Chains A and B, each alone.
Chain A
């Protein structure tokens, strides 16, 4: 497809001299992609985002395309930067908790958990057992909610509108369950340093049991509607293949890594909270429809994980007992001097908090390792050589939340 005359006459975008590490990830290396054309074509630079329906927020990807074929891609981040880490250095420990809700706003409970655990580790607080069970329940419930969004929006990316609404139907119930406990539907700040904010209301666990029953029925519906749809499979299989070594080398975690067949799950490999007492499988991509590590695998790992979460929730429901839900933590939290890192398995991968304290009320450093950010780094590597529509499928399968990539 030849470049239109107008675009050809436009002055070429100058490459900023001395831009350091800013380079075209998609620049052709010898032998990487060979195209024999008798028509002279010229690559076109095109901005995908920051306001594009499929970049899941304000991500901007600078694409280079030869007609429908993407020859290069460079993600530009920072449109949603809110200085989360700097705020962590200027507010008290407990005051920072609401900010953690806002990195990956689809999995706020997991973020709360990660931060609380990091602070607890430095403080040496022992969290009561019931609080641990409640934390596990909410971490898994929020994982379901987060994966539901991921499932629905992936359908949207591929062009199917309806799965999104099916996903929201169940997510609505999940959020109602959260609302009953903490009054919030998106930014909970429910899991606190030392335990959880309050105990579960009466009848809540029974309702959770009903949710589990209904959800398992609906889960089959999702697969009928989208996972095994011929067009959907054709659009996602053998697209954006991420080999296991590459996934490890780029620091991918979560469903992105497991989709490539690497069995790595912090819930099992670095167990925390109540996970050592629970039985669950680590869901892996298996190249069922195409090649191992393609978009379909990454997508289907999330669906399998939802089902696994239901299994975990059922076990929690059986084992949870009465007791206090908050450890004896002072109102003004002072953390002894020291540094500590805690990583938890978020829906999108490993969320790590590295906290340095000098013994005061405010942390000296509050570093966050976000899974979306690390997973996104491989985008420029995966995109070249795909079709324009595939690029949407790849971005969707990486499943970023821009609130977290930019923080």
Chain B
């Protein structure tokens, strides 16, 4: 029963950006529905059908679940090798099917709700968390022509939706009727409120440089210089902005060393202490989905999206911008994003956890002013330095 709201909510959240995207763009799901339908379906209805039937379930089944399972496997392998262990190896080749075995185990586990819990919120919280994780994917372009919706406010949408998970986490912590969970929820609220500021400001740097909120257009703009026109190399302010963005996104996705909401050694398991079975795994799924999304933003906005020096121009020269180019683009983009995900795992298995007051100090005293300085610097650079080279910004 707790499982049902998640895809529906996700589909509705997905429907919104599709409608907002407006125009007669659509995506391949809406195209397919329109093609197969014998009668002409009015556009808004088509969008809703596309969202409900297509994107939500398609994303969930075809992309997010396999990706999250792979990421969980990778996390365990990475952790294993960092810790002089082997990691999972029994289920399937190299233990690749371990996540499936885990998922089956979680599905058949008893689904408990604590006696003192606020039942409605308790059931609803994981659904909200998972739904927002799925919805975040809606605005991520994977290649020049592979995307679900090209929102003109794409990155804004993603940052906004990612804050929804915080509400879910707070709901979970509050409704569990457990003081440790409540601690986790309050820590989540505190760290997200503090870190969304530097996250947003550091993201404004590439927005300022590219002049667009659309992730796809920003990535397209970085294809120049033989695929090396990454914003990271553009001026001296983007690299620090990238590091700030990455640090803040660790806090946003509650990854180590900012994993205070679920700090195992302090808060037992934090906000999901009382959750079991599939509801628990929703939180897990969300964490890995959010990791990928923030890494995708990093790759698209800072690391040149799907452009790779030498490779992408060569493919374009040989095959044009057809499906081969798109396939290569997906590969390059995924490699970049997954590398950032890998760094997150690497950090998790290496670093200790920061204390809550140190988290606040870091956020307000260092990251926020630094990100503002980066924004100012980048603006000045665009205004005064770029014209010197004859660029238009």
Chain A interface (Cβ < 8 Å from any Cβ of B): 1, 4, 6-7, 44, 46, 52-54, 67-68, 155-162, 164-166, 169, 225-226, 229, 231-232, 234-235, 387-390, 392
Contact = CB atoms under 8 A, between A and B. Distances in A.
A156 B177 CA distance: 26
B263 interface: yes
Contacts of B268: 52-53
A162 B349 contact: yes
A389 B358 CA distance: 11
B352 A165 contact: no
Given A46-B179, A162-B350, A389-B356, A54 B84 contact: no
Interface in B125-162: none
B186 A159 contact: no
Contacts of B353: 158-160, 231, 235, 389
A392 B259 CA distance: 15
B34 interface: no
A4 B174 contact: yes
B351 A229 contact: yes
Given A165-B85, A235-B354, A387-B357, 12 more contacts: A44-B179, A54-B266, A68-B356, A159-B256, A159-B353, A161-B349, A232-B352, A234-B358, A235-B355, A389-B355, A389-B356, A390-B355
B183 interface: yes
Contact of B264 (A53, A155, A232): A53
A169 to B, nearest CB: 5
B200 interface: no
Interface of B: 79, 82-85, 174, 177, 179-180, 182-183, 186, 256-257, 259, 263-266, 268, 348-358
A161 B183 contact: no
A90 to B, nearest CB: 39
Contact of B352 (A4, A53, A54, A160): A160
B198 to A, nearest CB: 18
16 contacts: A53-B264, A53-B265, A68-B356, A155-B352, A159-B352, A159-B353, A161-B79, A161-B349, A165-B84, A231-B257, A231-B353, A235-B358, A389-B266, A389-B355, A390-B355, A392-B265
Among A169, A231, A232, A234, residue most surrounded by chain B Cβ atoms (within 10 Å): A231
Nearest to B79: A161
Contacts of A155: 352
A126 B358 CA distance: 58
A389 B351 contact: no
A157 B180 CA distance: 16
B83 A162 contact: yes
B269 to A, nearest CB: 9
A259 to B, nearest CB: 19
A157 B267 CA distance: 11
A159 B256 CA distance: 8
A164 B174 CA distance: 33
A373 B256 CA distance: 34
Given A162-B83, A166-B84, A54 B182 contact: no
Contacts of A159: 256-257, 259, 263-265, 351-353
A52 B85 CA distance: 25
Nearest to B186: A1
A390 B265 CA distance: 11
A128 to B, nearest CB: 40
Contacts of B259: 159
A387 B356 contact: yes
A388 B354 contact: no
Contact of A7 (B79, B83, B179, B354): B179
Contacts of B179: 7, 44, 46
Contacts of B79: 161
B263 A389 contact: yes
Contacts of A164: 83
B24 to A, nearest CB: 50
Among B268, B353, B357, residue most surrounded by chain A Cβ atoms (within 10 Å): B353
B265 A231 contact: no
Contacts of A6: 177
A390 B263 CA distance: 13
Contacts of B348: 161
A388 B266 contact: yes
